[in-house]
Amino acid sequence: MKKKYGVQLLCLLFTTVQSFSQVTDSTKPVQHVGGTVTATQNGVSLIPSFSLNKPAVMFDFNIGGKKLTFEPFLRFGMDGKPWSFIFWWRYKLATADKFKMSVGAHPSFVFRTISNPQVPDALQVSRFAAFDLTPSYRVTKNTTVGVYYLFSKGLDASSVRYTHFVTLNANFSHIGLGKTLYAKYVPQVYYLNMAGRDGLYVTHSLTLAANKFPLSVQTIMNKALHTELAGKNFVWNASVIYNFNKNYVRR
């Protein structure tokens, strides 16, 4: 797949985003548009045991209302080559004060560069379809515990046919470090099964941020406890993140 197709997919995304904003139920007065832009020296995947192994920029968007959201995730190498595109649709099944749960589904596209004498530096794309389930329980104001389950099916002969990804996680969302600074800490242990091979991993995410300031810094560290899968036993990165959130009232 040539580079121009990555640009076409990106154009298609923004057309879809625009259409979504136009057709959203007008009976819901408030629509949310938010997300993050992340620059990192090593792109780490949604499944943290996999990484790009080079600098990356990642665009994560969240668009929608109280129940249904559209969440496109776009990842690129710093050289401009697409890495992966994920187009999530998520629906909130439970929104109680203590217990929350959402279900999601997406198509995704993973790119890799291939070279041959006829087509140098061409992009090959693998297609996947997946769904996830995300229950969580709020223990205190700033502490939640939860489970995350992702099932993915490869749609091409060369891609992994079935993937199961299950995590047990905690989220300490606002650890005070003074009047304005705070930290967010997310530890998790997860089980990964791909085409019958499996592994057990632990990962930690630590974010430092300031109140009413859009930039934050983050590091992710991932360690394999036991695995039959290919990949590095230890993966880490450091990132700078720009956060934005807007609410729009339909009149």
Longest CA–CA separation in the chain, Å: 60
In 96-233, beta strands by DSSP E: 99-114, 122-140, 143-154, 162-176, 181-194, 197-210, 215-227
Regions of the chain where pLDDT drops below 70: 1-30, 117-120, 247-251
Whole-number pLDDT of residue 137? 98
Domains and CATH numbers, the chain: 3-249 (2.40.160.40)
The pair of structure tokens assigned to 17 is: 């985003």
Whole-number pLDDT of residue 66? 86
Whole-number pLDDT of residue 31? 78
Whole-number pLDDT of residue 116? 72
Whole-number pLDDT of residue 17? 45
Q: Are 131 and 115 in contact (CB under 8 A)?
A: no
pLDDT digits (tens, 9 = 90+) for 202-251: 999 999 999 999 999 999 999 999 999 988 999 999 999 999 987 665 55
Whole-number pLDDT of residue 158? 85
Beta strands 197-210 and 143-154: pairing type? unpaired
- For tokens 């140098």, name the residue: 120
Whole-number pLDDT of residue 231? 86
Separation CA 183–CA 38 (nearest Å): 17
Whole-number pLDDT of residue 20? 44
Separation CA 206–CA 219 (nearest Å): 6
Separation CA 88–CA 74 (nearest Å): 11
